[in-house]
Structure 1
Amino acid sequence: MNQTDTAGEELLLASREIDDDLFQTVLSAPGIKCAGCIDKIESGITKIPNVVRTRVNLSTKRVTVDWKKSNNAPPLIDALGQLGFQAHLSNCDTKPSDNELRTLIRALAVAGFGAANIMMLSVGVWAGADEETRTLFHWISAFIALPVMVFSGKIFFSSAWSALKSGGTNMDVPISAGVIITFTMSLYDTITGGQHAYFDAATSLLFFLLIGRTLDYVVRARAHSAIDGLRKLAPEGAAVIQPDGSTRYSPIEQIQPGMEMRIPAGARIPVNGTITDGRSDIDHSVINGESEPRSTHIGDTVLAGALNLTGPIVIKASSTSNTSFISDMIRLMESAETSRHGYQRIADRVSKLYTPVVHIGAVLAFLLWFLIDGNAHHALTVAVSVLIITCPCALGLATPMVQVIAAQRLYRNGILIKGGTALEKLADIDSVIFDKTGTLTEGSPHLTNCGTVDERTLRLAASIAAHSSHPYSKALAQSIPPPMQVQFKTNQFTEHPGDGIESKIDGAVYRLGRAGWASGDAESRDHKHYSTVIFGVSGRTLATFKFIDGLKPSASDALKELKNNNLSIEILSGDRKGPVAEVAALLGGVPYFANLRPQAKLAHITKQAARGHKVLMVGDGINDAPALAGAYVSMAPGNAADIGRTAADIIFLNNGLEAVTTTYLTARNAKTLIRQNIAFAILYNGVAIPLAFLGFITPLIAAIAMSTSSIVVVLNSLRLGMGEQKQLVKTIKNKNVARTPTQYHGAA
């Protein structure tokens, strides 16, 4: 086997299959620096045969490639090398260190020290120093600037050289050219006794650029700390039970579905699984935001990252480490960072044109001024100013900086964005449609008239209900006291979707479910406050069970806030008219539609879209999946059905509806900040470039202006989340402290 085959096999083993014959490989490329690098890698790698999709994450310096399997894996690492980026498999990374940040800080300190001292010497020259003093100050400035160029400038020079060696360019090429030309021209003027030298411009440019680059790195690293925190929630391995009953520690990568693991108290669950032995209290706060531990027993499902609190348990794995809950959440977070916002696609196209345009502009400026006054020195000074001041950095940072900060702030509130366009769409919505059961209400109905039904009937109904997964059946089975939970001897159970469950006992046919089907009574028995379930035998009613479903404590405040933001609200529910009307009334008379099947919900949303409305759909059940997929943008809670979470664009782990308002306000503020950033970047270049071209700007002013533009964009992006949404979440949570789900229908 040759070296190429070995590399391909290693790449294949390090990849994961995401669909039939479709694999995904994640590579680490530390040389990624800017939007130009992203465009270069994505366009270059996508040209490789069998590569379907390429995405670059600037925060993590990772390249994610989806490719179709053929005879061998595509030569991704070699291709990145040819593009000027050294790369390796991301799972080969050692524990990350902050070497890059330390390097930036050291370079920044050196550049700041040099620029400050040269600036003080320049003040003496500007104050009218005589020729000998001016020459001395210029030489001292040259000696100070030289180590700054070598040490601090290396960050830009090495990046530019790597790009040029691979036959391409990046944003560091014109920056490096501007700094080197300015230093060389100033050194020439110092040697020849010239009146002007711009060592202050060269060192100040490096200093301000390093401020922007360091600030950008810190912001991205802080935002990505959420993903790093998720990774730390998964243990490195677990004690796997062997066939002979002994245990052996296995790394998490080697755990496969079907393996049984012993999880001691105080340990986290490594992969998704089902409890096969033991009972314990499990902390699910990382999964759904619940602060109270949940008691679990044999047969219960547990997800990766949950904390086992009180007792040892044995779980059977149902996923690998790459398909566990934690891995899914990490992929969602990284997807939000790498997805392309509409504004970002525009900025990327502009940034792609930057290098050729700025070089052509600088050459034209030199030729124009040389033709005007014949002074090559002055013409070169103007060209350098144009080269330095023309900067797409602000435009390149305008969208991704806001996007990264938004993803971080939403994650802290338990909200995960599945794609970058979701926030963009959410900011444009004009209406919100809610499902009722499990979305506006707790989704856990409670039996209210247990004491009015005779014991034998109650026991019999509960025995039948235990064989159904319907929420009302579960509530009925769980509401019976343990001494009464006696199973009747029968194995004949048939569940009829939409109607109820049927059982044959001693030759009689018992039905538990919808009125009309369970008892033959055509009356709906609809009640303003209650949902009813009929228990009947051979067409005769034995009992009527009444259930209530508590309104979520945050529902009223969340909907009120959405209305205050001029959004129209509607409720679409498959439940009967009475309970839906009651919920709508408690929420301030919200328009509602009841008795809707999944197709009817989708049809309603499609009709709204045809009228020009941009709808946010919030739902949690399997029956909401078509509506979630068909809406302009959609949200689902973390405890929603799998198909619902898959269809939704945004997932909120905490089931409180304050997540909807928080996400909407964040999206709206993010859109405002992105527009501000882009407007500033366009205005800056629109004013600065003509002034530099006309010779009104020196290289020093150009250096300060160019660097300041990037810093302004970063600082403006940091304003996201500092205002109304933080106050909103605090207000809603404070209001919910003394609220309980049972307060819904409390007067009934």
Structure 2
Amino acid sequence: MTTAERDWASFAEPDDEGRLSMELAVDGIYCAACMTRIERSLSAVPGVERARVNLSNKRVAVSWRPEETDGSAIVSTLADLGYQARPFVRGQIDESYKRERNALFRALAVSGFAAMNVMLFSVSVWSGNVTDITPETRELFHWISALIALPAAAYAGQTFYRSAFNAISHGRLNMDVPITLGVMLALGLSFYGTLTASHDTYFESALMLLFFLLLGRTLDHTMRRRTRTYAENLAALRADTAFVLDADGGLKERPVADVTPGELVQVPAGTRVPVDGVVIEGRSEIDQSLVTGETMLQAIGVDDRVYAGTLNGEGTLTVRVSAAGEGTLLDEVNRLLDHAMTARSRSLALADKAARLYAPVVHTAALLTFLGWLALGAGAERSLVVAITVLIITCPCALALAVPAVQVTAAGAFFRNQLLLHAGDALERLAAVDTVVFDKTGTLTMPAARIANADSVPDAVLNAARALAGGSRHPVSVAIAASGKGTAAATDLREIAGAGIEGRVAGTSARLGTPAFAGAEEEAQALGAVFPDATLVGVRLEGLPPCVLAVQQVLRPDAASTVAALRRNGFDLRILSGDRAPAVQRAADSLGVSDWQAGLKPADKIAVLEALKAEGRSVLMVGDGLNDAPALAAADVSISPVTAVDLSQAAADVVFLGDRLAPVATALAIGRRARRLMNENLALAAIYNLIAVPIAVTGHASPLIAAVAMSASSILVTANALRAQRVPGQAEATVAATPAQGSAGEVAPA
């Protein structure tokens, strides 16, 4: 084995069946056609059993049998296709993104600045040609334009030139080939005109084309940022080491990868659980939002199961390992999320579909024009000028702008309506939605719990509870402390593990904690019948009867009206939650949603979504928890609140701000309008070509007229895209969907 082979093999991981797996970061993957080409080529390599491309994060996962091939052969195959690959290292994601982002921003700035300056000279020449410009002045302006345009275009268009060169050198065509050809011909013809003192040059057209295309590519790159960071967000939840108990009862810190099932691991208070397993000693409270989505801490004791990535509370636990590293629930979440994102990225965006046949059609038309004029005896120079005119007039500026221009405008409309767009093609997918699936906790409800019975508790007791709660970081205490302002400060605070906290408020003794700790068992029993899904907290202020606070999640203020509006417009509404059934049923009944499921794990939610899609539905998933991230990626399109965990925001196509749920309906309205404008723009681009190409082919258009026509088509498409700024006054009035099969029907909201 060579040194290179040993280096690549060192990045691969073996499985139980003797296969090796490797994940590669690959440059130059821009569309679904790239995915298909890579997967087919790698699958044809002997020994490769699986090749999967993830377009969102530009990575390729490969599995192969080492006795038949090796990693270097896989990398060489990618190189032969024109794609540079390197081992995926999680810490390099941000650095790679920043380099590419900065390069695009610099190219955009250079092309925009150069285009504006060259346009000033071009306008002067155009107006002077019909008035009194002297030949000397015109030639000076042409030379100044050339000195600005040539180096600017050489620098700003590098991303297109490299892509086109790679495609041609490996025997294929992509959208960057006609773009590069059009820019090069426009620049070449303009420079020739400058040398021969021609009346016309077209430097400004080449620069404007580069500017608009770079604007679209920069927007797309920025929007993909969130989906490309999910791996690092998940990695942050993983513990690198675990404290393993040896046979003598001593603790040894070992890498999680070296921990085997059956061993005993100690989990200190306040740390993340490093493994999946069963508690054999100790009591604590665990933040299990990873598993259930429920943000309230869950009591954990002997024989209870815990999962890697969950956060331990104030107690120390001893856990018998059932899975560590691979095979844990956190690993399953990662696998489900990666699979869902890969599956989603296989769908072709509207612009990709329109562009697939564009390059060969344009080149064929120009070639046939050149050969046709030669056959008619026009001569090589005249034939070449007409062919160049065809290429310029059909340069895909309008087509390339048809979708990005709407995306830019719609992204602004989203922002003005408290929505952040993470994926440009989400607009197209939002327009097709007919089924909306909600998570409960943190999505239909407010992200933070609140005191449901605050109006029935004396102010003095409530203020004392807030003061005591301010001294604890327990999630329930945080909710109580945040329920009001201006409370007195608590002194002499003392926290009793498993019971609560006591101290003095304004000189009076007070307690906050379990109903038993506060001597409020009877009050808790009565209140539990009224709020069956609430966490009951006892409060006792010396001199007053004990009270109980019902701390629970409350619905967002406009949840009922938003859900009712969506139902009126024909959407099938469902709730999928990892929370307990009583809590989910209470929310569903309040909102009039009859189709709900509780106690679901991440894989269960994906199974439900896949079943809906198998019925032909287009599904919007709205969720916020870590356990929702795979489902958000698996849905046709997804929305997450800004209070969601980082991983869910990364997996979501859209993030909404604020406490209101109405932005979900607004997003659907904007998406439907944007899709309509995209279709209109593509139609305008097609009509333009149908009119312009025959004129150019028959020699009735000069290169100057072709450049003006190309610019005019771009202006028309951009002007039409600006209509996406207007959002209908009442979003629910325009959010109409084809009624889905099995609709829940009309249910009056609570």
TM-score scaled by structure 1? Answer: 0.60
- The corresponding residue for 1:81 is 79
Q: Cα distance, 1:135 vs. partner?
A: 0.6
Query: 1:357-390: CA deviations, max 9, x gaps?
Result: 2211232344566759763464144123145236
**Conservation of the 8 A alpha-carbon contact between 2:50 and 2:63:** yes
**Conservation of the 8 A alpha-carbon contact between 1:397 and 1:713:** no
- The corresponding residue for 1:247 is 252
- The corresponding residue for 1:230 is 233
Distance (whole Å) between structure 1 residues aligned to residue 356 and residue 319 of structure 2? 52
Is structure 2 residue 124 aligned with structure 1 residue 117?
Answer: no
**Conservation of the 8 A alpha-carbon contact between 1:275 and 1:315:** yes
**Conservation of the 8 A alpha-carbon contact between 2:54 and 2:345:** no
Q: Classify 1:617/1:293 alpha carbon distance in 2 versus 1 (closer, same or farther; 3 Å).
A: closer
Q: Classify 1:110/1:659 alpha carbon distance in 2 versus 1 (closer, same or farther; 3 Å).
A: closer
Instruction: Say which SS state the counterpart of residue 248 (structure 1) adopts.
Output: strand
Q: Which amino acid aligns with 1:383?
A: V
Distance (whole Å) between structure 1 residues aligned to residue 431 and residue 597 of structure 2? 12
Is structure 2 residue 190 aligned with structure 1 residue 186?
Answer: yes
**Conservation of the 8 A alpha-carbon contact between 1:5 and 1:72:** no
Instruction: Say which SS state the counterpart of residue 123 (structure 1) adopts.
Output: helix
**Conservation of the 8 A alpha-carbon contact between 2:56 and 2:227:** yes
Q: Which amino acid aligns with 1:379?
A: V
**Conservation of the 8 A alpha-carbon contact between 2:163 and 2:176:** yes
Is structure 2 residue 171 aligned with structure 1 residue 161?
Answer: no
For 1:251-650, list aligned pairs within 5 A. Answer: 253-254=257-258, 256-285=260-289, 288-340=292-344, 344=348, 348=352, 350-367=354-371, 375-376=382-383, 378-389=385-396, 393=400, 427=432, 429=434, 560-567=564-571, 620=599, 631=612, 632=615
Q: Cα distance, 1:100 vs. partner?
A: 0.7
Distance (whole Å) between structure 1 residues aligned to residue 695 and residue 258 of structure 2? 66
Q: Which amino acid aligns with 1:247?
A: K
Instruction: Say which SS state the counterpart of residue 149 (structure 1) adopts.
Output: helix
Distance (whole Å) between structure 2 residues aligned to residue 341 and residue 194 of structure 1? 49
Q: Which amino acid aligns with 2:688?
A: V
Distance (whole Å) between structure 1 residues aligned to residue 585 and residue 297 of structure 2? 34
Q: Cα distance, 1:101 vs. partner?
A: 0.8
Query: 1:52-76: CA deviations, max 9, x gaps?
Result: 6654333322124466887456743
Query: 1:96-142: CA deviations, max 9, x gaps?
Result: 31011111111222222222221111122123421001111111111
Q: Cα distance, 1:160 vs. partner?
A: 1.8
Q: Cα distance, 1:169 vs. partner?
A: 2.7
Q: Cα distance, 1:144 vs. partner?
A: 1.3
Distance (whole Å) between structure 2 residues aligned to residue 100 and residue 341 of structure 1? 20
- The corresponding residue for 1:40 is 37
Distance (whole Å) between structure 2 residues aligned to residue 681 and residue 227 of structure 1? 33
Q: Which amino acid aligns with 2:395?
A: I
Q: Which amino acid aligns with 2:30?
A: K
Distance (whole Å) between structure 2 residues aligned to residue 721 and residue 256 of structure 1? 59
- The corresponding residue for 2:108 is 108
**Conservation of the 8 A alpha-carbon contact between 1:388 and 1:706:** no
* Identity rate, percent: 29
Distance (whole Å) between structure 2 residues aligned to residue 150 and residue 385 of structure 1? 18
Distance (whole Å) between structure 2 residues aligned to residue 629 and residue 115 of structure 1? 48
Q: Which amino acid aligns with 1:239?
A: A
Q: Classify 1:103/1:322 alpha carbon distance in 2 versus 1 (closer, same or farther; 3 Å).
A: farther
Distance (whole Å) between structure 1 residues aligned to residue 431 and residue 238 of structure 2? 35
Distance (whole Å) between structure 1 residues aligned to residue 49 and residue 355 of structure 2? 24
Distance (whole Å) between structure 2 residues aligned to residue 256 and residue 663 of structure 1? 45
Q: Cα distance, 1:617 vs. partner?
A: 7.7
Distance (whole Å) between structure 2 residues aligned to residue 204 and residue 191 of structure 1? 22
Q: Classify 1:115/1:270 alpha carbon distance in 2 versus 1 (closer, same or farther; 3 Å).
A: farther
Q: Cα distance, 1:199 vs. partner?
A: 1.5
Q: Which amino acid aligns with 1:31?
A: G
Instruction: Say which SS state the counterpart of residue 53 (structure 2) adopts.
Output: strand
Q: Cα distance, 1:156 vs. partner?
A: 1.9
Q: Classify 1:336/1:711 alpha carbon distance in 2 versus 1 (closer, same or farther; 3 Å).
A: farther
For 1:126-205, list aligned pairs within 5 A. Answer: 126=126, 127-128=128-129, 129-205=133-209
In angstroms, what is the RMSD of aligned CA positions?
Answer: 6.1
- The corresponding residue for 2:27 is 30
Distance (whole Å) between structure 1 residues aligned to residue 257 and residue 239 of structure 2? 8
Q: Which amino acid aligns with 2:86?
A: H
Q: Classify 1:704/1:230 alpha carbon distance in 2 versus 1 (closer, same or farther; 3 Å).
A: farther
- The corresponding residue for 2:536 is none
Instruction: Say which SS state the counterpart of residue 282 (structure 1) adopts.
Output: strand
**Conservation of the 8 A alpha-carbon contact between 1:11 and 1:73:** no
Query: 1:134-176: CA deviations, max 9, x gaps?
Result: 1111111111122213322222222222222223232222211
Q: Classify 1:386/1:262 alpha carbon distance in 2 versus 1 (closer, same or farther; 3 Å).
A: farther
Instruction: Say which SS state the counterpart of residue 319 (structure 1) adopts.
Output: strand
Distance (whole Å) between structure 2 residues aligned to residue 112 and residue 640 of structure 1? 41
Query: 1:639-685: CA deviations, max 9, x gaps?
Result: 9999x999x9699999xxx9999989867865664454344324323
Q: Cα distance, 1:712 vs. partner?
A: 8.7
- The corresponding residue for 1:59 is 56
Structure 2: any 5+ residue segments left out of the alignment? 446-513, 518-531, 533-551, 577-583, 645-658, 736-748
Distance (whole Å) between structure 2 residues aligned to residue 59 and residue 115 of structure 1? 32
**Conservation of the 8 A alpha-carbon contact between 1:175 and 1:387:** no
Distance (whole Å) between structure 2 residues aligned to residue 220 and residue 94 of structure 1? 16
Distance (whole Å) between structure 2 residues aligned to residue 207 and residue 345 of structure 1? 22
Distance (whole Å) between structure 1 residues aligned to residue 340 and residue 676 of structure 2? 19
Q: Classify 1:667/1:47 alpha carbon distance in 2 versus 1 (closer, same or farther; 3 Å).
A: farther
Q: Cα distance, 1:717 vs. partner?
A: 9.3
The one of 76, 81, 89 equivalent to 1:91 is 89
Q: Cα distance, 1:24 vs. partner?
A: 5.9
* Higher mean C-alpha displacement, 190-199 vs 683-692: 683-692
Instruction: Say which SS state the counterpart of residue 196 (structure 1) adopts.
Output: coil
Distance (whole Å) between structure 1 residues aligned to residue 585 and residue 117 of structure 2? 74
* Higher mean C-alpha displacement, 323-332 vs 123-132: 323-332
TM-score scaled by structure 2? Answer: 0.60
Distance (whole Å) between structure 2 residues aligned to residue 582 and residue 228 of structure 1? 35
